[in-house]
Structure 1
Amino acid sequence: MIHQRVSLLTIAAYNLPKLRAFYQKLGWEETEISSDAYAVFKTAGVLISLYPKENIEKDSSVKLPDTPEYSKMTIAINVDTPDEVDSTYEIIKQIGGSLLKEPTNAEWGGRTAYFADPEKNIWEIAWNPTSKFDERGAMISF
């Protein structure tokens, strides 16, 4: 059996200082192991790490594109109210995120917006009326 858990999400950083600064501007807390060479941010569910592109290429034996490209996945920040989608989107706008889709009511009954960080990693801001979170704030169902 393979454990059914995601515990760490690592983003290949083309410019670690710039990408790290963006997440710091979100107000996210870093772990004590963060440094100028590797940054790790705490979230309610998983740790999000920023690791230099070259190191990921060496570790994985996979050649990544020479410049950031939009990823084939999205990472979601699920919020507690529809208004938080809008206020989070405004914060992203203020700190220089790339705004992809303004807050809108979704056909499934929630509210969403999309942005990209400085290296084109796509993020969704979402409110889902059926989401359930544990005591730490980690999503356990929707």
Structure 2
Amino acid sequence: MVPQRVSLITIGASDLPVLRSFYKRLGWKETESSSDTYAVFKTAGVILSLFPIEELAKDAEVAITPDASSFRGVAFAINVGSPEEVDQAIEDIRRARGNILREPSDAFWGGRTAYFADPENNLWEVAWNPDSVFDERGAMLSF
């Protein structure tokens, strides 16, 4: 049986220093596992790593698609504890020079949501769901 969990997400970076700098401008702290060629950020429930896309493709034995700027069909989410936190996070992301794709708005499902892209067009949602339950570390347990 495959364990039902996500422990590590790696984003293949075309320009690691630029992408690393963006996440640091968000106020995210790197772990001691980071190096000149690999950035690691501990979040509430998952480790986020940034790794050169060529090395990631080589490790996975796959080819890199030519248009990395297009939507990849994947979005990451930062869930927060209140509607106001969505708005504040987007303002902080704007100051960090994130590309705001969708301004904060009330969602049809009863929450509040917004979207941004990092410097390499990785899609992120910032969302508040009134039914979300978080543990003491801030990891989402359910919604």
| Distance (Å, rounded) in 2 between the aligned partners of 1:130 and 1:49 | 29
For residue 33 of structure 1, report the CA deviation from its aligned partner: 1.0
The equivalent of 1:120 in structure 2 is 121
| Distance (Å, rounded) in 2 between the aligned partners of 1:97 and 1:68 | 17
The equivalent of 1:65 in structure 2 is 65
1:101-116 alignment to 2 at 5 Å?
A: 101-116=102-117
| Distance (Å, rounded) in 2 between the aligned partners of 1:117 and 1:60 | 23
1:16-74 CA-to-partner distances (Å, cap 9, x unmatched) read: 00000000001111110101100000100100000001101111111112452222111
The answer as to 2:130 corresponding to 1:129 is yes
**What is the root-mean-square deviation of aligned Cα atoms in Å?**
0.9
- Runs (5+) with no aligned partner, structure 2: none
- Runs (5+) with no aligned partner, structure 1: none
| Distance (Å, rounded) in 2 between the aligned partners of 1:51 and 1:32 | 15
Instruction: Supply the AA of the counterpart residue of 1:44.
Output: A
| TM-score of the aligned structures, taking structure 2 as reference length | 0.96
Contact 1:14 1:67 in 2 (8 A): no
Q: 123-132 vs 59-68, which deviates more?
A: 59-68
Instruction: Supply the AA of the counterpart residue of 1:61.
Output: E
| Distance (Å, rounded) in 1 between the aligned partners of 2:60 and 2:107 | 37
| Distance (Å, rounded) in 2 between the aligned partners of 1:84 and 1:130 | 15
For residue 136 of structure 1, report the CA deviation from its aligned partner: 1.3
| TM-score of the aligned structures, taking structure 1 as reference length | 0.97
